[in-house]
Structure 1
Amino acid sequence: MSHYNTTNKANNEVMAMSFNGHTLQSIIKDGQIWMTASDLAKALSYKNSKSVTNLFNANSSEFTSGMTMVTESVTNGINGSKRKMAIRIFSLRGCHLIAMFARTKVAKDFRKWVLDILDREVSTPAIEQPPAITDADWVRYSRSMTIPEMAQLTGHTEQQVINALHKVLGSKVPTTSPAPVMTPEMQYALDQFWGFIATQDIKALNHSHKPHELAISIPEVYELAEPWQLPDTSLLYKALRLSTTPRFYRANAVIASERTNRSRRVWIFIKSFGQTAIAKV
């Protein structure tokens, strides 16, 4: 797996990434990661890029200019000459949307992988609010994603997602549901996660400048651990929302890191007053 911090990387620089045994050559443009249709097809287990192109053509109205573009690529021609050709590339959000339309067996795993990379991105300027999402974006997301998935992709809270959908769709979005239940599997995942955190230097993991908060980058934690030390993220994300010590506050918030002074997408928890950060682990 590659390092995903693209800060200070030059435009059009190629960066190798690994997914499901495939090496993907991503392109850096304006500090963001983009993938070619060819590499996207490889990741999704299609025979060639035509399948990705067909998915895009069939759903082109769903994509914004921030999700896909046509750019020039220089390849080796006859006798060492250079030949320019136009290729379509997709941003991480564009890759995620293509994977939503894909029906291959690895599409679900690829979507999770892309979201994990989005969590790791720290190249954007420090901001207090998540980036603006257009009305068309919300309509598109509502057709194929759950509210938690939309929250994770956009960096909004689930309540912000609900409010936005209500405003755009013009119909009431249910805000109440049966209270989530902490299953034994979720409790084990929670204990496993906080147990690992307790073995680490908490100050080195905490990105918050507020003394009562823990602001933790989940992908950063997983980079420190062996695979057997932490639970599957799909289960952990559900369990962390039920964490009480420290108490869950917000998921996928973008803050200016106290440690690096750069923006970082984090999960925020509230420490128990008068107790250490991980008092009950």
Structure 2
Amino acid sequence: MSQYNTTNKANNEVMAMSFNGHTLQSIIKDGQIWMTASDLAKALSYKNSKSVTNLFNANSSEFTSGMTTVTDSVTSAKTKGLTVKTRIFSLRGCHLIAMFARTKVAKDFRKWVLDILDREVSTPAIEQSPAITDADWVRYSRSMTIPEMAQFTGHSEQQVINALHDIMGSPARTTSPAPVMTPELQHALDQFWGFIATQNIAALNHSHKQHELAISIPEVYELAEPWQLPDTSLLYKALRLSTTPRFYRANTVIASERTNKSRRVWVFIKSVGQTAIAKV
């Protein structure tokens, strides 16, 4: 059984939820749903909570206090009710852990969490969620589509697009000073196109124009391991300096040739006769 409306739930109340045949014991804290590392591991098909702890430790800088915290929990009667420190994750924290997870059910679990979040934001909450920072938006854009970010944050898709535009900026104008290619930016560019060369480029291209290559950056990062691609803050600068293929537009919305839906992409112009991206 799954329950979603936590408005009238008391702190520390345990609520049963069901995912993929597993019963998860969620905890209500400040009107929000939280899960222990142990239940999160069960949902993601890990053997034990150590795998979730390792994912968190490796990416702890990505998490805010609104995503995870450590709380006291009471052990069983056999241990005379001793208390232990237990790490718990909010739904947003669960979603981020699932972004780093590589199990087969991780994608389905992310969708499940987003569905609960979507229901949660449609009901009154005890407290407003913490404000989303610019760093949060950049992190979300690295691994989520526009609709996913809208569900995840409780914003409309247009609000998400506006926020990303404000943070990441518009395409460079011809009157702007010419940016300088540094070794660091060149390395980021080589790393990105090198990874693209290992993929089915036709499956990544959202443009219907033969001379264009329209790529969703979050979609690319969803396919890669964390170590395979540079930090997006560096990549966004480097991509504007790309010459093969040549940078054309950044963060523009087009009707995807593949999905027939609106998609925010970076657009590049292929070189004459270019059919694929050469490995670097």
TM-score range for the pair, normalised by the shorter chain length: 0.5 to 0.7
Pairing 1:112-131 to 2, within 5 Å after superposition: 112-121=111-120, 122-124=123-125
2:168 is matched with which residue? 169
1:3 aligned partner? 3
Number of aligned residue pairs: 182
Q: Is the 1:40–1:95 Cα contact (8 Å) retained in structure 2?
A: yes
Q: Is the 8 A contact 1:71 1:86 kept in 2?
A: yes
**In the TM superposition, what whole-angstrom CA distance separates every residue of 1:145-197 from its partner, at most 9, and x where no partner exists?**
112211121122222222212222345442330278997xxxxxxxxxxxxxx
CA distance in 1, matches of 2:256, 2:84: 54
Quick check: which has more Rg, 1 or 2? 2
Instruction: Tell me the SS of whatever aligns to 1:82.
Output: coil
**Cα 1:112–1:179, aligned 2, differ >3 Å: closer, same or farther?**
closer
Select which of 178, 192, 198 maps to 2:255: 178
2:109 aligned partner: 110
Q: Name the SS of the counterpart of 1:176 in structure 2.
A: strand
User: C-alpha separation between the residues in 2 aligned to 1:27 and 1:131?
Assistant: 19
1:224-243, aligned counterparts within 5 Å? none
The answer to which structure, 1 or 2, has the higher relative contact order (CA under 8 A, 6+ apart) is 1
Q: CA deviation at 1:81?
A: 1.4
Q: After TM superposition, give the deviation of residue 123 of structure 1 in Å.
A: 4.2
Paired amino acid for 2:20: N
Gap runs ≥5 in structure 1 = 184-237, 242-281
Once residues 52 and 127 of structure 2 are traced to their aligned partners in structure 1, the CA distance between those partners, rounded to angstroms, is 34
Change (3 A) 1:36 1:126: closer
CA distance in 1, matches of 2:80, 2:62: 38
Give the RMSD, CA atoms, in angstroms. 2.5
The one-letter amino acid of 1:16's match is A
In the superposition, the TM-score normalised over structure 1's length comes to 0.59
**Residues 92-143 of structure 1: CA deviation (Å, up to 9, x unaligned):** 000011111111000011011101111222241699xx97311121111111
Match of 1:35? 35
State the distance in 2 between where 1:43 and 1:112 align.
13
TM-score (norm 2): 0.60
Equivalent pair of 2:117/2:151 in contact (CA under 8 Å): no
Question: In 2, Cα distance between the equivalents of 1:112 and 1:99?
Answer: 10
Q: Which residue of 1 aligns with 2:86?
A: 87
Query: Cα 1:59–1:126, aligned 2, differ >3 Å: closer, same or farther?
Result: closer
Q: Which amino acid aligns with 1:177?
A: I
3-state secondary structure, aligned to 1:143: helix
Cα separation, 2, equivalents of 1:117 and 1:39: 16
> Cα–Cα, structure 1 residues 179 and 101, in superposed 2: closer, same or farther, change >3 Å?
closer
Question: In structure 1, how many angstroms separate the alpha carbons of the residues matched to 2:32 and 2:132?
Answer: 17
Structure 2 match to 1:139: 138
- Structure 1 contact 40–52 (Cα < 8 Å) conserved: yes
Aligned to 1:269: none
The CA distance in 2 between the partners of 1:107 and 1:94, in whole Å, is 14
Name the SS for the 1:153 alignment partner: helix
Query: Which portions of structure 1, spanning 4 or more consecutive aligned residues, are displaced by more than 4 angstroms?
Result: 179-183
Identity %: 79
* Alpha carbons of structure 1 residues 48 and 73: separation in structure 2 relative to 1, 3 Å: same
**Maintained 8 Å contact 1:31/1:123:** no
Contact 2:20–2:43 (Cα < 8 Å) also in 1: yes
